Amino acid sequence: MTTGITTGITTQTLDMTPQLDSATLGTMIDTDGQAATQSRFRRRWARVPRELGFLLATLPVVTIAFVVLVTLFSLGASTFVLVGGVFVLAAAMVAARWFGAVELVRLEAAGMPRIARPAWNTERRPGIVGWLRRYLGDGHYWLYLLHGGVVNFAVGVATWCTAITWLMTGLGGVTFGIWSRFLPPHEAGNIWINKVVIEFVVPGIQLGNDSDGLQRNETILYTLLGLAMLAMLPFVTHGLVRIHQGIARGMLGRFASDDLKREVAALGASRDAAVSAEDHGLRRLERDIHDGPQQRLVRLQFDLASAERALDSDPATARALLEGAREQSREALEELRDLSRGFAPPLLQDRGLAAALESLAVRNTVPTSIRLSLGESEIAPEVERSVYFIAAELLTNVAKHAAATTAMVSASTRESETGERVLELTVFDDGVGSAAEAAGHGLAGLAERVSGLRGEISITSPEGGPTMITTRIPLS
């Protein structure tokens, strides 16, 4: 039997930082600041291709959405009094949801944070009325329709015009010295932009009408303007995409009430599962007491009565009955101790979950190794008791039903995909497999207990083995 425990070790490091004078420290701060600024600027430029791709594709996308949604909605609204108009409106809702999903995917492709999707009403009541209420009675569909048919079209046209104008002006200014040679000659009545700007900025100066000099100044002015606009391009594209992101978050994202409803439903299910698990545990305790210690105590009572009757007539028989009664009392005491461990063993209360799990592994009849990585996370007492009970039940199943030669218990705390700290318990054995959640059996009761703690359980047990059962319980 092997037992391995991984524990956290706190280390301290001595302050070996060399003393720096103010000049050296100032140089380091300036260098770090410049490096950070350059890094941010590079990251902004790295996002430009994706953001430009989003903005340049916006006009055709919003135009198609506008035409389709406005056509369907207008047709459905105008024929609403007819039977067919209702179905056209439902089709408009479905199309609006599709265009909204496309917009959300486009925003993610542009590098924006993911927006939580609405909790769509997937329940379909029987009949046509129930089908229509599914689409026309959900506020998300109407918001998606308003977004695709009105808001996103207006905003999309404005952002597309801004992006294309900014990009073309910047590129045109930088390349003005190349393509300006192919323009018609500058006539006397035309206006030189650089002349107007310089004479406005510097009052009293007169540049004259030297066309070569003015042409050179014009090229410099346009080049500087183009460079300035291209330098600002990452900020412009990011700001325009952020506008779309903010609108989409408000109109295409999940409602706060949706999360609240789902949380209430989850809490209700957890409460029901906890009640069911508690009832299952009490029934099992009653059955174990009836089949174990109670039967032994009844037999002990009969043995003592028989010994009392034979005490005078047959002392040898009475002595044998008393020895048997003593053995019965010892076994009944052991069974009561085993049952008490299913509630809260003293070791768990005194030394914590790690020591209690190690004790389970040592007492198991199947050689069991244990790997623990619980870190410094604070674990609530009720979670510790439940995890201990789950581990004890699973190891009991391994000993009774798995026909295994080795087993392993692993417990660790980690961060889930949603950012919540969870305690993950895994019990593995090399037995015959075929473990499943059957109604009224042990694994079903464990699943209810885990659900009561807002956790989840996964069972992998093909026929022939091996078996791996993993539970994940939130620590919050």
- Tens of pLDDT, residues 4-20: 433 333 333 334 334 44
Tokens at 272, concatenated: 């029901």
Q: Cβ–Cβ contacts within 10 Å for residue 359, how many?
A: 19
Identify the weakest region by mean pLDDT among 24-28, 90-94, 99-103, 265-269.
24-28
Any idea what DSSP says for residue 365?
S
Identify the weakest region by mean pLDDT among 45-49, 190-194, 447-451.
190-194
Cα–Cα distance between 417 and 435 in angstroms, integer?
28
For the chain, give percent helix, strand, coil, nearest 5: 65, 10, 25
Cα–Cα distance between 17 and 169 in angstroms, integer?
52
Any idea what DSSP says for residue 228?
H
pLDDT classification of 130: cutoffs 50, 70, 90? low
Please, what is the average pLDDT of the chain?
Answer: 75
Burial call 29-48: b when 16+ CB within 10 Å, e when fewer? eeeeeeeeeeeeeeeeeebb
Identify the weakest region by mean pLDDT among 23-27, 208-212, 221-225.
23-27
Tell me the DSSP string of 345-368.
Answer: -HHHHHH-HHHHHHHHHHH-SS-E
391, pLDDT greater than 90: no
Cα–Cα distance between 312 and 310 in angstroms, integer?
6
Q: 111: burial class by Cβ within 10 Å (0-12, 13-18, 19+)?
A: middle
CATH code for the part of the protein at 347-474:
3.30.565.10
Closest CA to 272 of 442, 439, 449, 423: 449
Tokens at 413, concatenated: 């705390």
Instruction: Indicate the helix (H) or strand (E) that contains 43.
Output: helix 22-56
157, pLDDT greater than 90: yes
203, pLDDT greater than 70: no
Question: Where do the H-state alpha helices sit in 252-292?
Answer: 256-291
Range picked from 8-12, 24-28, 216-220, 455-459 for highest mean pLDDT: 455-459
Cα–Cα distance between 159 and 239 in angstroms, integer?
10
Cα–Cα distance between 367 and 372 in angstroms, integer?
17
Residue 427 phi, psi (nearest 5): -120, 125
Domains in the chain: boundaries: 29-254, 292-341, 347-474
Tokens at 75, concatenated: 């047709």
Give the largest Cα separation in the chain, rounded.
146
pLDDT classification of 212: cutoffs 50, 70, 90? low
At 253, which amino acid appears? G
Any idea what DSSP says for residue 316?
H
For tokens 């957890």, the residue is 270
Distance of CA 346 to the CA centre of its chain: 37
Percentage of the chain lying above the pLDDT 70 cut: 68
Distance in angstroms between the alpha carbons of the first and the last residue of the chain: 35
223, pLDDT greater than 70: yes
Cα–Cα distance between 352 and 375 in angstroms, integer?
13
Question: Where do the H-state alpha helices sit in 175-255?
Answer: 176-179, 193-201, 211-231, 233-251
Tens digit of each residue's pLDDT (9 = 90 or more) over 321-353 = 777 777 777 777 777 766 665 555 667 777 778
Polymer length of the chain? 476
